[in-house]
Structure 1
Amino acid sequence: MKTKVFSLLVLGLLLACNQPKQGPDMIVEGYEVYPIEGTSIQRVAKKHDTGKVIETGYLENGKKHGLWLTFNERDGRITTMTSYINGLKDGPFLKFNNREQIDLKANYEQDQLHGPYWEYQYGRILKEANYKHGKLDGLYKEYYNSGKILKEIEFTDGVQNGYYRYYDENGNVTVEYEYKDGEKVSGGIKK
């Protein structure tokens, strides 16, 4: 996954950097448009009032396509990296904090979360889940700042189905419920 994301980032940056230094052919809804000769693809850039680029990516047939990057207005650091196919989010999505660390790592398929999903804070994992066509599917986990598990919830097609477990900071289960098709069927506080 890291190699795929890194490869997409490098490819996007190489394509952006290899464009001739010329002015835009037109402006579309706040974006400067730079056609890529010999293709139906256009590189576009949106700039802040200060002139700094705050968003850049590619259009194919008028729709977002390929790698899109957004940047912080103040310092120009990357804030998000999103993959598109035919105007829909499709592929890896990364969100970065002001320290250039990943805050969110997810995957999209046809504009819906699909596949592994992680949230981080200063490099520590906070949440971990799996999505299937926009719905939670599989084991959802949240973590304490120490990195130990806080809770686990099982989902099937967006509905709680299986165990819900809450842990103390020593790793002991303190609350456990069992769900079937979104309805609690058993469980309670552990002693």
Structure 2
Amino acid sequence: MLSKKYFKTFFGSFIIAVLAICTNVAFAQDSTRNVFFEKINDTESRFFFDQNYYLVDKNCEFKSIERVAKFDKINNHFEGNFVDVAADGRRLLTGSYANGLKDGRFVAYHPNQQIKWEVTFKENKPTGFWNYYYPDGRPLLSVSFHDSTSARIVSLWDERGKLRVKQGNGKYDFRNPIDGYSQYGFSFYSMRGKIKDGVPDGAWQVYFENPQAKQSEYAADETYRDGIFLIGNNYFEDAEYTAPIFSILPYDTFYRADALVFKPCTFDDFAGFTYYLSEYFKAAFQAVRVNTPVNNDFAFEVLVRKDGSARRAKVISELPEEIHNGFQRVVQSIEYFIPSFKDGDYIDDQLTVRGKVLSGADGQLLFQTNRIERKFEQDK
């Protein structure tokens, strides 16, 4: 069985912790505010999501999923059957909730309407087999779930139809999309290694990939023993890690819909770049503990070339003395930003990044990037 620690990591990739203040949620009749959902009738509502299941305004260019569902406003959760559809009306996902928990059969669909995967949930947890399929209907992967803390890989077929993992044993090779912003420019990663009795065992390799460009870079190696993660080496960052950071099992961002977290309608938010910056600052100050409480807005300016390279980054807000200089150095260490785009081409631009920094009870600093203003991209 996969360890409880591993199982939590697998499901942790579904649910990304995002600090968000849910304001400006309104029904469609209020045109002055964002519309993340609207009533259809007395029992059903329509919710608007981007492709990663963050709520977005109904008129946002990044809206790609609409969910029709009953919603319990008192308890703030979905209830009963629902259907998710794409912009052209194609089914993407069907399922049901009981008392706000995923319950019953969930089915996801490929664009050609063949079943992509199917699983049964009981009280929010998968049970039995989670089966995946290729777009032509052939089997791809089967994972069994026996209780809330264990999962076992049963079978894996490659694109040619060859059975690579049989009855929990064999060679595993599976590609996952990278969720959110990738600082290295890759859109996928693949996990390759041995499956023994349904769990990873021995040496594993991680590759970053761009399939369309046929790019592949060796990114990391990991070591498992009977499903227990031992150690990993990230070659892009030249660092060891002692907890798994890549999911061996496939994941799907539909889990995020339950949290009802919204994003502003900007490309920086859609691409996950604002969240990436928050995590960058958090990691840089991981070992820092402040002596006095911090609750401050921050802002910095940076010139970003059309190739994304950064120069002349400067903090323009006053922060507490014990972190101001350190924050300036961290800001100057960011080598790449998403470049501005205007009139069909990338341009040089001046960016102003605004956010908030506050300290926890233990003095650790937390960061939230609120928005990125692009001076010349926004000029009309």
TM-score over 0.5 (shorter chain): yes
User: Distance in 1 between the 2:36 and 2:198 partners?
Assistant: 49
Q: Please tell me the residue identity of whatever aligns with 1:30.
A: F
**Where does residue 92 of structure 2 map in the other structure?**
79
Higher helix content, 1 or 2:
2
In the alignment, is the contact (CA less than 8 A) between 1:109 and 1:133 conserved in 2? Answer: no
In the TM superposition, what is the alpha-carbon distance from 1:113 to its structure 2 partner?
Answer: 1.4
User: 1:125 is aligned with what amino acid?
Assistant: P
Per-residue deviation, 1:26: 8.1
User: Residues 32, 179 of structure 1: CA spacing in aligned structure 2 closer, same or farther, 3 A cutoff?
Assistant: closer
1:33 to 30, 39, 55: 39
Q: Which residue of 2 aligns with 1:146?
A: 160
* Superimposed CA distance per residue, residues 132-185 of structure 1 (whole angstroms, 9 cap, x where no aligned partner): 23444456110122333111364xxxxxxxxx3349xxxxxxx895699x855x
Tell me, in whole angstroms, the C-alpha distance in 2 between the residues paired with 1:49 and 1:91. 32
Q: Is the 8 A contact 1:129 1:136 kept in 2?
A: no
- Aligned partner of 1:45 in structure 2 is 46
> Where in structure 2 are there 5+ consecutive unaligned residues?
1-26, 49-57, 173-193, 202-224, 227-380
Query: What amino acid is aligned across from residue 134 of structure 2 in structure 1?
Result: Q
Cα pair distance change 1:43/1:176, threshold 3 Å: closer
2:117 alignment partner in structure 1:
104
2:355 corresponding residue in structure 1? none
Provide closer, same or farther for how the CA distance between residues 120 and 49 of structure 1 changes in structure 2, counting only shifts above 3 A: same
Separation in 2 of the partners of 1:126 and 1:85? Answer: 30
Unaligned runs of at least 5 residues, structure 1? 1-23, 37-41, 155-163, 168-174, 185-191
Question: For the pair shown, which has the larger CA radius of gyration, 1 or 2?
Answer: 2
Partner in structure 1 of residue 370 of structure 2: none
Structure 1 residues 125 and 178 mapped into 2: Cα distance closer, same or farther (>3 Å)?
closer
The residue that corresponds to 2:22 in the other structure is none
Cα separation, 2, equivalents of 1:120 and 1:134: 24
State how far apart, in whole Å, the 2-side matches of 1:46 and 1:118 are: 27
Alignment check: 8 A CA contact 1:118 1:129 kept = yes
TM-score by length of 1: 0.57
Which structure would you say has the larger RCO, counting Cα contacts within 8 Å and 6 or more residues apart? Answer: 2
Equivalent in the alignment of 1:57: 69
Identity level (%): 18
Is the contact between residue 64 and residue 86 of structure 2 (CA under 8 Å) also seen in structure 1? no
Q: Which has the higher strand share?
A: 1
Taking the aligned partners of 1:30 and 1:43, their CA distance within structure 2 comes to 14
**In 2, distance between residues paired with 1:129 and 1:70?**
24
Equivalent pairs, count: 138
Distance 1:111 1:102 in 2: 21
RMSD of equivalent CA atoms: 3.7
Aligned to 1:93: 106
**CA–CA distance in 1 between the matches of 2:198 and 2:47?**
48
In structure 2, give the amino acid aligned to 1:129: V
CA contact (8 A) 2:118 2:132 kept: yes
- Whether the aligned pair in 1 keeps the contact of 2:85 and 2:93 (CA below 8 Å) is yes
* Per-residue deviation, 1:33: 2.6
SS in 2 for 1:114: strand
- 2:82 alignment partner in structure 1: 68
Q: Deviations over 1:54-80 (max 9, x none)?
A: 11011245421111111112x121111
Provide the rounded CA distance (Å) in 1 between the counterparts of 2:69 and 2:198.
Answer: 44
